[in-house]
Amino acid sequence: MRMKKVFALLLTGMMTVSAPAAVFASSTEEQIADVQAQKDAAQAELAQEQANMASLESKKQELESYLEELNAQYTDLTNSVSELGIQAAEKEDELKNLKAQLEEAKATSDKQYEDMKKRIVYMYENGSASMLELLLSSEDLAQFLNRAENIAQISQYDRDMLAKYKALQADIKAQEEQAEEEAQNIDQLMAEKSAKQQEVQALTASTSEDIQAYIYQISASQEEISALNTQIDNADSSIYSLLQAAEAEKEAEEAAAREASASAEDTSDYSESESSDTTDESDYSESGDDYSENSYEDTEESGSSEDSYTESSESSDSSQSSESESSSSSQGTYLGTFTLTAYCNCAQCCGTAGNLTASGTVPTAGRTVAMAGVPFGTQLLINGTVYTVEDLGTPYGHVDIYCSSHSEALAFGLQSAEVYRLN
Protein backbone atom coordinates (compact mmCIF):
# COMPACT_ATOMS: atom_id res chain seq x y z
CA MET A 1 0.00 0.00 0.00
CA ARG A 2 2.77 2.41 0.87
CA MET A 3 4.53 1.66 -2.45
CA LYS A 4 1.35 2.43 -4.40
CA LYS A 5 0.97 5.75 -2.59
CA VAL A 6 4.58 6.69 -3.41
CA PHE A 7 4.20 5.88 -7.07
CA ALA A 8 0.91 7.82 -7.20
CA LEU A 9 2.58 10.85 -5.69
CA LEU A 10 5.48 10.59 -8.16
CA LEU A 11 3.12 10.27 -11.11
CA THR A 12 1.10 13.27 -9.93
CA GLY A 13 4.29 15.36 -9.57
CA MET A 14 5.54 14.44 -13.06
CA MET A 15 2.15 15.31 -14.60
CA THR A 16 2.18 18.63 -12.73
CA VAL A 17 5.64 19.43 -14.15
CA SER A 18 4.93 18.25 -17.71
CA ALA A 19 1.50 19.87 -18.14
CA PRO A 20 2.65 23.53 -17.90
CA ALA A 21 5.63 22.65 -20.06
CA ALA A 22 3.37 21.27 -22.77
CA VAL A 23 1.16 24.35 -22.53
CA PHE A 24 4.21 26.63 -22.71
CA ALA A 25 5.63 24.75 -25.71
CA SER A 26 2.29 24.98 -27.52
CA SER A 27 2.02 28.69 -26.71
CA THR A 28 5.60 29.31 -27.93
CA GLU A 29 4.94 27.46 -31.18
CA GLU A 30 1.79 29.52 -31.73
CA GLN A 31 3.67 32.74 -31.06
CA ILE A 32 6.46 31.73 -33.45
CA ALA A 33 3.85 30.79 -36.07
CA ASP A 34 2.11 34.16 -35.65
CA VAL A 35 5.39 36.08 -35.90
CA GLN A 36 6.44 33.99 -38.91
CA ALA A 37 3.10 34.71 -40.59
CA GLN A 38 3.58 38.43 -39.95
CA LYS A 39 7.11 38.18 -41.34
CA ASP A 40 5.89 36.34 -44.47
CA ALA A 41 3.20 38.97 -45.02
CA ALA A 42 5.75 41.74 -44.58
CA GLN A 43 8.12 40.03 -47.05
CA ALA A 44 5.32 39.66 -49.61
CA GLU A 45 4.42 43.33 -49.16
CA LEU A 46 8.12 44.21 -49.40
CA ALA A 47 8.45 42.35 -52.72
CA GLN A 48 5.38 44.14 -54.08
CA GLU A 49 6.68 47.51 -52.86
CA GLN A 50 10.09 46.86 -54.44
CA ALA A 51 8.43 45.98 -57.75
CA ASN A 52 6.33 49.15 -57.50
CA MET A 53 9.42 51.24 -56.80
CA ALA A 54 11.23 49.64 -59.77
CA SER A 55 8.28 50.58 -62.00
CA LEU A 56 8.34 54.14 -60.65
CA GLU A 57 12.08 54.37 -61.25
CA SER A 58 11.61 53.17 -64.85
CA LYS A 59 8.87 55.74 -65.52
CA LYS A 60 10.94 58.45 -63.87
CA GLN A 61 13.92 57.62 -66.11
CA GLU A 62 11.69 57.72 -69.20
CA LEU A 63 10.39 61.14 -68.20
CA GLU A 64 13.93 62.36 -67.51
CA SER A 65 14.98 61.24 -71.01
CA TYR A 66 11.94 62.97 -72.48
CA LEU A 67 12.76 66.09 -70.47
CA GLU A 68 16.30 66.10 -71.86
CA GLU A 69 14.86 65.94 -75.40
CA LEU A 70 12.48 68.79 -74.63
CA ASN A 71 15.29 70.89 -73.19
CA ALA A 72 17.40 70.24 -76.29
CA GLN A 73 14.45 71.11 -78.51
CA TYR A 74 13.77 74.25 -76.50
CA THR A 75 17.43 75.26 -76.83
CA ASP A 76 17.30 74.74 -80.61
CA LEU A 77 14.11 76.77 -80.87
CA THR A 78 15.61 79.54 -78.77
CA ASN A 79 18.67 79.64 -81.05
CA SER A 80 16.42 79.62 -84.13
CA VAL A 81 14.31 82.49 -82.79
CA SER A 82 17.48 84.44 -82.02
CA GLU A 83 18.83 83.85 -85.53
CA LEU A 84 15.49 84.82 -87.06
CA GLY A 85 15.48 87.96 -84.96
CA ILE A 86 18.91 88.86 -86.33
CA GLN A 87 17.75 88.13 -89.88
CA ALA A 88 14.62 90.22 -89.37
CA ALA A 89 16.70 93.14 -88.11
CA GLU A 90 19.05 92.80 -91.07
CA LYS A 91 16.13 92.62 -93.49
CA GLU A 92 14.60 95.72 -91.92
CA ASP A 93 17.88 97.58 -92.42
CA GLU A 94 17.96 96.33 -96.01
CA LEU A 95 14.45 97.63 -96.59
CA LYS A 96 15.44 101.00 -95.19
CA ASN A 97 18.44 101.14 -97.53
CA LEU A 98 16.33 100.13 -100.53
CA LYS A 99 13.77 102.79 -99.71
CA ALA A 100 16.54 105.37 -99.40
CA GLN A 101 17.98 104.28 -102.77
CA LEU A 102 14.55 104.43 -104.29
CA GLU A 103 14.02 107.94 -103.00
CA GLU A 104 17.44 108.95 -104.28
CA ALA A 105 16.72 107.41 -107.68
CA LYS A 106 13.39 109.16 -107.77
CA ALA A 107 15.11 112.49 -106.98
CA THR A 108 17.70 111.89 -109.71
CA SER A 109 15.10 110.88 -112.24
CA ASP A 110 12.97 113.86 -111.32
CA LYS A 111 15.92 116.19 -111.95
CA GLN A 112 16.67 114.50 -115.26
CA TYR A 113 13.05 114.71 -116.19
CA GLU A 114 12.97 118.44 -115.42
CA ASP A 115 16.14 119.04 -117.48
CA MET A 116 14.80 117.02 -120.35
CA LYS A 117 11.50 118.81 -120.13
CA LYS A 118 13.28 122.20 -120.35
CA ARG A 119 15.19 121.10 -123.44
CA ILE A 120 12.05 119.77 -125.07
CA VAL A 121 10.19 122.99 -124.26
CA TYR A 122 13.07 125.01 -125.68
CA MET A 123 13.09 122.90 -128.80
CA TYR A 124 9.39 123.16 -129.27
CA GLU A 125 9.29 126.90 -128.57
CA ASN A 126 12.07 127.76 -130.96
CA GLY A 127 10.93 125.24 -133.51
CA SER A 128 12.93 123.51 -136.17
CA ALA A 129 13.95 126.84 -137.75
CA SER A 130 16.16 127.73 -134.80
CA MET A 131 17.88 124.33 -134.94
CA LEU A 132 18.29 124.77 -138.69
CA GLU A 133 19.56 128.32 -138.20
CA LEU A 134 22.01 127.01 -135.67
CA LEU A 135 23.31 124.50 -138.16
CA LEU A 136 23.37 126.98 -141.07
CA SER A 137 25.15 129.60 -139.02
CA SER A 138 28.14 127.32 -138.79
CA GLU A 139 31.31 128.88 -140.14
CA ASP A 140 32.55 125.68 -141.74
CA LEU A 141 31.59 122.11 -142.29
CA ALA A 142 33.35 120.85 -139.17
CA GLN A 143 31.38 123.17 -136.95
CA PHE A 144 28.23 122.13 -138.74
CA LEU A 145 28.91 118.49 -138.15
CA ASN A 146 29.84 119.09 -134.53
CA ARG A 147 26.62 120.97 -133.91
CA ALA A 148 24.59 118.31 -135.64
CA GLU A 149 26.30 115.61 -133.57
CA ASN A 150 25.73 117.53 -130.36
CA ILE A 151 22.04 117.86 -131.12
CA ALA A 152 21.83 114.12 -131.82
CA GLN A 153 23.78 113.29 -128.63
CA ILE A 154 21.51 115.47 -126.53
CA SER A 155 18.46 113.70 -127.94
CA GLN A 156 20.06 110.25 -127.42
CA TYR A 157 21.12 111.21 -123.90
CA ASP A 158 17.58 112.18 -123.03
CA ARG A 159 16.27 108.87 -124.41
CA ASP A 160 18.95 106.85 -122.55
CA MET A 161 18.35 108.66 -119.29
CA LEU A 162 14.62 108.04 -119.63
CA ALA A 163 15.20 104.31 -120.19
CA LYS A 164 17.71 104.15 -117.33
CA TYR A 165 15.29 105.94 -115.08
CA LYS A 166 12.56 103.45 -115.91
CA ALA A 167 14.91 100.42 -115.40
CA LEU A 168 16.23 101.77 -112.11
CA GLN A 169 12.74 102.37 -110.80
CA ALA A 170 11.67 98.86 -111.83
CA ASP A 171 14.77 97.26 -110.23
CA ILE A 172 14.35 99.16 -106.97
CA LYS A 173 10.66 98.30 -106.93
CA ALA A 174 11.40 94.60 -107.43
CA GLN A 175 14.05 94.58 -104.68
CA GLU A 176 11.66 96.36 -102.35
CA GLU A 177 8.89 93.81 -103.00
CA GLN A 178 11.32 90.90 -102.50
CA ALA A 179 12.65 92.38 -99.26
CA GLU A 180 9.12 92.92 -97.96
CA GLU A 181 8.21 89.33 -98.85
CA GLU A 182 11.30 87.99 -97.14
CA ALA A 183 10.56 90.13 -94.09
CA GLN A 184 7.02 88.74 -93.94
CA ASN A 185 8.36 85.18 -94.20
CA ILE A 186 10.83 85.86 -91.42
CA ASP A 187 8.13 87.36 -89.23
CA GLN A 188 5.85 84.38 -89.87
CA LEU A 189 8.62 81.87 -89.17
CA MET A 190 9.56 83.74 -86.02
CA ALA A 191 5.94 83.64 -84.85
CA GLU A 192 5.80 79.87 -85.51
CA LYS A 193 9.08 79.29 -83.68
CA SER A 194 7.94 81.40 -80.75
CA ALA A 195 4.66 79.47 -80.52
CA LYS A 196 6.55 76.17 -80.66
CA GLN A 197 8.95 77.44 -78.04
CA GLN A 198 6.07 78.26 -75.69
CA GLU A 199 4.58 74.82 -76.32
CA VAL A 200 7.87 73.09 -75.52
CA GLN A 201 8.27 75.27 -72.45
CA ALA A 202 4.82 74.19 -71.23
CA LEU A 203 5.68 70.52 -71.88
CA THR A 204 8.96 70.96 -70.01
CA ALA A 205 7.19 72.41 -67.00
CA SER A 206 4.58 69.63 -67.04
CA THR A 207 7.24 66.93 -67.37
CA SER A 208 9.25 68.44 -64.52
CA GLU A 209 6.15 68.34 -62.32
CA ASP A 210 5.56 64.68 -63.26
CA ILE A 211 9.17 63.85 -62.41
CA GLN A 212 8.82 65.57 -59.03
CA ALA A 213 5.66 63.54 -58.39
CA TYR A 214 7.53 60.31 -59.20
CA ILE A 215 10.39 61.38 -56.96
CA TYR A 216 7.92 61.92 -54.12
CA GLN A 217 6.32 58.51 -54.73
CA ILE A 218 9.75 56.83 -54.87
CA SER A 219 10.72 58.51 -51.60
CA ALA A 220 7.50 57.28 -49.97
CA SER A 221 8.12 53.80 -51.36
CA GLN A 222 11.67 53.81 -49.99
CA GLU A 223 10.34 54.78 -46.56
CA GLU A 224 7.79 51.96 -46.77
CA ILE A 225 10.52 49.50 -47.77
CA SER A 226 12.67 50.67 -44.87
CA ALA A 227 9.74 50.20 -42.48
CA LEU A 228 9.08 46.71 -43.87
CA ASN A 229 12.75 45.76 -43.52
CA THR A 230 12.64 46.96 -39.92
CA GLN A 231 9.47 44.92 -39.36
CA ILE A 232 11.14 41.82 -40.84
CA ASP A 233 14.24 42.35 -38.67
CA ASN A 234 12.04 42.74 -35.60
CA ALA A 235 10.21 39.54 -36.52
CA ASP A 236 13.56 37.74 -36.86
CA SER A 237 14.59 39.07 -33.46
CA SER A 238 11.28 37.97 -31.93
CA ILE A 239 11.59 34.49 -33.45
CA TYR A 240 15.14 34.23 -32.15
CA SER A 241 14.06 35.34 -28.65
CA LEU A 242 11.19 32.84 -28.64
CA LEU A 243 13.50 30.05 -29.79
CA GLN A 244 15.99 30.99 -27.08
CA ALA A 245 13.21 31.02 -24.48
CA ALA A 246 11.91 27.67 -25.72
CA GLU A 247 15.44 26.23 -25.59
CA ALA A 248 15.92 27.51 -22.05
CA GLU A 249 12.53 26.09 -21.01
CA LYS A 250 13.42 22.79 -22.60
CA GLU A 251 16.69 22.64 -20.68
CA ALA A 252 14.80 23.49 -17.47
CA GLU A 253 12.28 20.72 -18.19
CA GLU A 254 15.07 18.20 -18.80
CA ALA A 255 16.76 19.24 -15.55
CA ALA A 256 13.48 18.94 -13.68
CA ALA A 257 12.85 15.54 -15.24
CA ARG A 258 16.33 14.37 -14.22
CA GLU A 259 15.75 15.60 -10.67
CA ALA A 260 12.33 13.94 -10.56
CA SER A 261 13.81 10.66 -11.85
CA ALA A 262 16.60 10.77 -9.29
CA SER A 263 14.07 11.54 -6.54
CA ALA A 264 11.85 8.67 -7.69
CA GLU A 265 14.78 6.23 -7.58
CA ASP A 266 15.77 7.44 -4.10
CA THR A 267 12.18 7.06 -2.88
CA SER A 268 11.98 3.59 -4.40
CA ASP A 269 15.14 2.52 -2.60
CA TYR A 270 13.79 3.99 0.62
CA SER A 271 10.50 2.12 0.19
CA GLU A 272 12.28 -1.17 -0.46
CA SER A 273 14.36 -0.63 2.67
CA GLU A 274 11.24 0.12 4.71
CA SER A 275 9.57 -3.00 3.34
CA SER A 276 12.59 -5.03 4.35
CA ASP A 277 12.38 -3.62 7.87
CA THR A 278 8.71 -4.56 8.07
CA THR A 279 9.49 -8.09 6.94
CA ASP A 280 12.21 -8.35 9.57
CA GLU A 281 9.77 -7.30 12.24
CA SER A 282 7.35 -9.96 11.05
CA ASP A 283 10.10 -12.53 11.17
CA TYR A 284 10.92 -11.33 14.62
CA SER A 285 7.41 -11.91 15.83
CA GLU A 286 7.45 -15.42 14.42
CA SER A 287 11.04 -16.50 15.10
CA GLY A 288 11.85 -14.72 18.27
CA ASP A 289 15.59 -14.59 18.89
CA ASP A 290 16.51 -14.92 15.19
CA TYR A 291 15.23 -11.37 14.58
CA SER A 292 18.17 -9.44 15.88
CA GLU A 293 20.82 -11.15 13.77
CA ASN A 294 18.83 -11.50 10.51
CA SER A 295 17.33 -8.00 10.74
CA TYR A 296 20.69 -6.48 11.35
CA GLU A 297 22.27 -8.22 8.39
CA ASP A 298 19.37 -7.26 6.06
CA THR A 299 19.46 -3.65 7.16
CA GLU A 300 23.20 -3.46 6.71
CA GLU A 301 23.01 -4.99 3.23
CA SER A 302 20.18 -2.61 2.22
CA GLY A 303 22.05 0.43 3.45
CA SER A 304 25.15 -0.67 1.60
CA SER A 305 23.16 -1.08 -1.61
CA GLU A 306 21.60 2.38 -1.27
CA ASP A 307 24.97 4.01 -0.63
CA SER A 308 26.44 2.28 -3.66
CA TYR A 309 23.56 3.52 -5.89
CA THR A 310 23.88 7.07 -4.61
CA GLU A 311 27.63 7.16 -5.26
CA SER A 312 27.14 5.70 -8.75
CA SER A 313 24.40 8.24 -9.58
CA GLU A 314 26.49 11.16 -8.36
CA SER A 315 29.48 9.93 -10.34
CA SER A 316 27.38 9.61 -13.53
CA ASP A 317 25.86 13.13 -13.10
CA SER A 318 29.31 14.60 -12.47
CA SER A 319 30.68 12.93 -15.62
CA GLN A 320 27.76 14.18 -17.77
CA SER A 321 28.08 17.72 -16.36
CA SER A 322 31.82 17.74 -17.06
CA GLU A 323 31.30 16.59 -20.67
CA SER A 324 28.56 19.24 -21.24
CA GLU A 325 30.71 22.04 -19.84
CA SER A 326 33.63 20.96 -22.02
CA SER A 327 31.49 20.91 -25.20
CA SER A 328 29.93 24.31 -24.39
CA SER A 329 33.25 25.96 -23.71
CA SER A 330 34.92 24.65 -26.88
CA GLN A 331 32.07 25.09 -29.40
CA GLY A 332 29.67 27.53 -27.74
CA THR A 333 25.88 27.31 -28.06
CA TYR A 334 24.84 25.42 -31.17
CA LEU A 335 22.43 27.57 -33.25
CA GLY A 336 21.92 25.30 -36.26
CA THR A 337 22.94 24.99 -39.90
CA PHE A 338 22.77 28.49 -41.46
CA THR A 339 22.98 29.80 -45.03
CA LEU A 340 26.25 31.61 -45.83
CA THR A 341 26.84 34.33 -48.45
CA ALA A 342 29.46 37.07 -48.85
CA TYR A 343 29.52 40.79 -49.62
CA CYS A 344 32.00 43.68 -49.87
CA ASN A 345 31.91 47.46 -49.37
CA CYS A 346 31.33 48.36 -53.03
CA ALA A 347 28.38 50.22 -54.55
CA GLN A 348 27.10 47.05 -56.22
CA CYS A 349 26.78 45.22 -52.89
CA CYS A 350 25.80 48.13 -50.60
CA GLY A 351 24.27 50.78 -52.88
CA THR A 352 27.10 53.21 -52.16
CA ALA A 353 30.76 52.47 -51.57
CA GLY A 354 32.82 53.09 -48.42
CA ASN A 355 30.01 52.85 -45.84
CA LEU A 356 30.41 51.99 -42.17
CA THR A 357 28.52 49.02 -40.74
CA ALA A 358 25.09 49.42 -39.14
CA SER A 359 26.82 49.29 -35.74
CA GLY A 360 29.16 52.16 -36.72
CA THR A 361 32.36 50.11 -37.13
CA VAL A 362 34.67 49.84 -40.12
CA PRO A 363 33.97 46.48 -41.81
CA THR A 364 36.95 44.11 -41.67
CA ALA A 365 37.47 40.87 -43.59
CA GLY A 366 37.76 37.85 -41.30
CA ARG A 367 35.77 39.57 -38.52
CA THR A 368 32.64 41.38 -39.75
CA VAL A 369 29.41 39.52 -40.57
CA ALA A 370 25.82 40.71 -41.07
CA MET A 371 22.72 39.01 -39.61
CA ALA A 372 19.54 40.22 -37.94
CA GLY A 373 17.99 38.69 -34.86
CA VAL A 374 21.03 38.92 -32.53
CA PRO A 375 22.63 41.92 -30.78
CA PHE A 376 25.63 43.70 -32.31
CA GLY A 377 28.86 42.27 -30.93
CA THR A 378 27.59 38.66 -30.88
CA GLN A 379 30.47 36.27 -31.68
CA LEU A 380 29.76 33.35 -34.02
CA LEU A 381 31.99 30.32 -34.64
CA ILE A 382 31.74 29.29 -38.31
CA ASN A 383 34.05 26.68 -39.87
CA GLY A 384 36.66 27.27 -37.17
CA THR A 385 36.69 31.09 -37.54
CA VAL A 386 35.26 33.49 -34.96
CA TYR A 387 33.21 36.31 -36.51
CA THR A 388 31.44 39.30 -34.91
CA VAL A 389 27.94 40.48 -35.88
CA GLU A 390 28.44 44.17 -36.78
CA ASP A 391 26.03 44.70 -39.67
CA LEU A 392 22.44 44.05 -40.85
CA GLY A 393 20.91 43.11 -44.18
CA THR A 394 20.06 39.40 -43.85
CA PRO A 395 17.45 37.66 -41.65
CA TYR A 396 18.24 35.33 -38.76
CA GLY A 397 19.59 32.05 -40.10
CA HIS A 398 21.41 33.74 -43.02
CA VAL A 399 24.95 34.99 -42.32
CA ASP A 400 26.52 37.46 -44.78
CA ILE A 401 30.33 37.38 -44.41
CA TYR A 402 32.33 40.52 -45.28
CA CYS A 403 35.14 40.17 -47.88
CA SER A 404 37.83 42.65 -48.86
CA SER A 405 36.94 42.62 -52.58
CA HIS A 406 33.95 42.01 -54.84
CA SER A 407 35.71 39.17 -56.65
CA GLU A 408 36.20 37.32 -53.35
CA ALA A 409 32.51 37.80 -52.52
CA LEU A 410 31.49 36.39 -55.90
CA ALA A 411 33.89 33.46 -55.53
CA PHE A 412 32.43 32.64 -52.08
CA GLY A 413 29.02 31.94 -53.62
CA LEU A 414 26.24 30.26 -51.60
CA GLN A 415 27.24 27.89 -48.80
CA SER A 416 25.91 26.42 -45.54
CA ALA A 417 27.62 25.57 -42.26
CA GLU A 418 26.98 24.82 -38.59
CA VAL A 419 26.99 27.97 -36.48
CA TYR A 420 27.84 28.27 -32.76
CA ARG A 421 27.34 31.27 -30.53
CA LEU A 422 30.29 32.00 -28.22
CA ASN A 423 28.92 34.83 -26.02
- Per-residue pLDDT band for 257 (boundaries 50, 70, 90) equals confident
CA distances from 160 to 97, 103, 105, 112, 171 (A): 26, 20, 15, 11, 16
**Which percentage of the chain shows pLDDT scores above 70?**
74
- Per-residue pLDDT band for 78 (boundaries 50, 70, 90) equals confident
Give the list of residues 6+ apart from residue 66 with CB closer than 8 angstroms, or none. Answer: 207
**How far, in Å, CA of 20 to CA of 18, rounded?**
6
Angle at the Cα of 35 from the Cα atoms of 17 and 239, rounded to 5 degrees:
65
Same CATH fold assignment for domains 25-250 and 333-423 = no
pLDDT of residue 124: 56
The CATH number corresponding to 25-250 among 2.60.40, 1.10.150, 1.10.287, 3.30.70 equals 1.10.287
Q: With contact defined as beta carbons under 8 Å apart, do 386 and 355 qualify?
A: no
SS3 string of 32-60? HHHHHHHHHHHHHHHHHHHHHHHHHHHHH
Q: With contact defined as beta carbons under 8 Å apart, do 274 and 2 qualify?
A: yes
Give the list of residues 6+ apart from residue 284 with CB closer than 8 angstroms, or none. Answer: 290, 291, 292, 295
pLDDT of residue 321: 38
DSSP sequence for 222-271 = HHHHHHHHHHHHHHHHHHHHHHHHHHHHHHHHHHHHHHHHHHHHHHHHHH
94-103, 200-209, 259-268, 316-325: which has the minimum mean pLDDT? 316-325
Average pLDDT over residues 375-389: 95
392-415 per-position pLDDT tens digit: 989 999 999 999 999 999 999 999
Q: Delimit the domains of the chain by residue range.
A: 25-250, 333-423
Query: In terms of Cα–Cα distance, which of 84, 102, 82 is closest to 183?
Result: 84
Q: With contact defined as beta carbons under 8 Å apart, do 89 and 128 qualify?
A: no
The better pLDDT of the pair 344, 201 is held by 344
pLDDT of residue 323: 41
Backbone φ, ψ for residue 89 (5° rounding): -65, -40
- Amino acid identity of 15? M
Q: What share of the chain is helix, strand, coil (3-state, %, to 5)?
A: 80, 10, 10
Helix (H) or strand (E) holding 299: helix 290-331
> What is the CATH topology of the domain spanning 333-423?
Barwin-like endoglucanases (2.40.40)
Angle at the Cα of 161 from the Cα atoms of 160 and 166, rounded to 5 degrees:
100
Average pLDDT over residues 361-376: 94
